[in-house]
């Protein structure tokens, strides 16, 4: 139903939307651009998330944000009013950590990124090293020559890094000269809208710089890689035909949903737009169709009216059932 059709839910009969929502057991929510923008909740998102949970649906936050561990993100979410626990949050940093554990990785990891990656690795018993040196441009050659390479480093992990610099590129590329050293990236998210006509950059800026300089192709672990929900799929929690991804980014959230066989809902409150999705649909190219969502709403808050409508129908049905019981009792009394 609605598969890769970019259906505008506001333009179809409510009963169809309710039928579609009724088939869903698990909802995977994006964070930035869906639930909040930086530290501010998006209008209606908190109420809608909590209402979805109250409907008995399993709810998870699935994010490419590697700046914090799941416990810290849960704390942030709860401070905004979301009813969510640490065990219901999946991050790209945790995904990388889990991947290395499954691989029985025993070496050190060079981290170019925020503390969330280091902390997730530490939780898994994996030692990490970082780059705290910065060479002046005119002394870059000397910096590279004097660089001490730790032979026990077996992987380079790159994520969004607020203090990214040329020195970090040099060090990462030096390690990646060894083909046995793994190259992992958190995601390829490009920009994050800050406000109208203002953006900040995502992990793609850092990953791409090291990719081009090292001539090595990274394995991207975050969305759209199905590895993000590996544990949930292994445990049998997720049934593809009954799972919905709600996201704002076509190149990660929507491809992720299509890669996994999940249903998808694009919201227009973040990086992606309805116009872009419709253009991709019109082109008809199979690769680009992977970025076309099943459905669209301007924001998560717009889903609330359908959740409320479902409650009204339930109350009406219960009222009718109660009236029928009363009528039956009355008829039985008359017959007696």
Looking at residue 194, what is its pLDDT?
80
Separation CA 268–CA 45 (nearest Å): 13
Per-residue pLDDT at 305 exceeds 80: yes
Q: What is the mean pLDDT of the chain?
A: 92
The mean pLDDT value for 55-63 works out to 98
Question: Would you please indicate which residues are annotated as catalytic (active-site) residues?
Answer: 32
Q: Residue 226: in which H helix or E strand, if any? A: none
Looking at the whole model, is its pTM more than 0.85?
A: yes
Q: What is the pLDDT of residues 82-130, one digit of tens each?
A: 999 999 999 999 999 999 999 999 999 999 999 999 999 999 999 999 9
What pLDDT shows up at residue 315?
54
Distance (Å) of CA 96 to CA 71, 101, 164: 16, 9, 20
The residues with which 193 forms a beta bridge, in sequence order, are: 199
pLDDT band at 273 (very low <50, low <70, confident <90, very high): very high
Percent of the chain with pLDDT over 70: 91
Residues placed in the known binding site: 32, 223, 248
| Binding-site annotation, residues for Mg(2+) | 32, 248
Cα separation, 240 vs 182, whole angstroms: 30
> Which phi and psi angles does 183 have, rounded to 5°?
-120, 110
Residue 228, both tokens: 């993000």
> Of 14-18, 27-31, 206-210, 307-311, where does mean pLDDT reach its minimum?
307-311
Distances (CA, A) of 222 to 77, 159, 206: 20, 10, 15
- Residue 133: predicted pLDDT: 72
- List the domains of the chain with CATH numbers: 7-64+224-313 (3.40.50.1000), 94-220 (3.40.50.1000)
Q: Residues within the annotated binding site for substrate?
A: 223
* pLDDT, tens only, 227-237: 999 999 999 98
Q: Is the pLDDT of residue 314 over 60?
A: no
| pLDDT over 60 (residue 316) | no
Q: How far apart are CA 183 and CA 168, in angstroms?
A: 14
């Amino acid at each position: 139903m609605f598969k890769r059709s970019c259906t505008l839910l506001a333009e179809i009969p409510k009963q169809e939307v309710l039928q579609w929502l009724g088939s869903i057991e698990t909802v995977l929510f994006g964070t930035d651009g869906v639930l909040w923008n930086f530290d501010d909740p998006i209008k209606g998102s908190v109420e809608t998330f909590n209402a979805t949970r109250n409907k008995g649906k399993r709810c998870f936050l699935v994010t490419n944000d590697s700046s914090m561990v799941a416990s810290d993100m849960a704390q942030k979410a709860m401070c905004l009013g979301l009813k969510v626990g640490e065990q219901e949050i999946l991050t790209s940093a945790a995904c990388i950590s889990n991947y290395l554990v499954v691989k029985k990785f025993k070496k050190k990891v060079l981290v170019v990124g925020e503390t969330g990656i280091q902390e997730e690795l530490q939780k898994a018993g994996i030692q990490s090293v970082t780059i705290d040196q910065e060479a002046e441009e005119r002394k870059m050659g000397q910096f590279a020559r004097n660089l001490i390479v730790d032979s026990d480093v077996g992987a380079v992990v790159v994520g969004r890094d607020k203090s990214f610099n040329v020195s970090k590129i040099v060090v990462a590329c030096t390690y990646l000269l060894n083909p046995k050293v793994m190259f992992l990236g958190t995601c390829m998210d490009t920009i994050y809208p800050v406000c109208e006509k203002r953006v900040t950059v995502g992990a793609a800026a850092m990953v791409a710089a090291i990719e081009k300089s090292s001539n090595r192709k990274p394995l991207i672990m975050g969305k759209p890689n199905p590895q993000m929900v590996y544990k949930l799929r292994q445990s049998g929690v997720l049934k593809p035909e009954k799972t919905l991804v709600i996201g704002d980014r076509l190149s990660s959230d929507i491809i992720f949903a299509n890669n996994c066989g999940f249903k998808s809902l694009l919201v227009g409150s973040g990086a992606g737009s309805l116009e872009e999705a419709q253009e991709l649909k019109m082109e008809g190219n199979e690769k680009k169709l992977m970025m076309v969502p099943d459905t669209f709403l301007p924001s998560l808050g717009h889903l609330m009216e359908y959740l409320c409508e479902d409650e009204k129908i339930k109350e009406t049905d219960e009222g009718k059932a109660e009236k029928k019981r009363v009528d039956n009792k009355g008829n039985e009394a008359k017959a007696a």
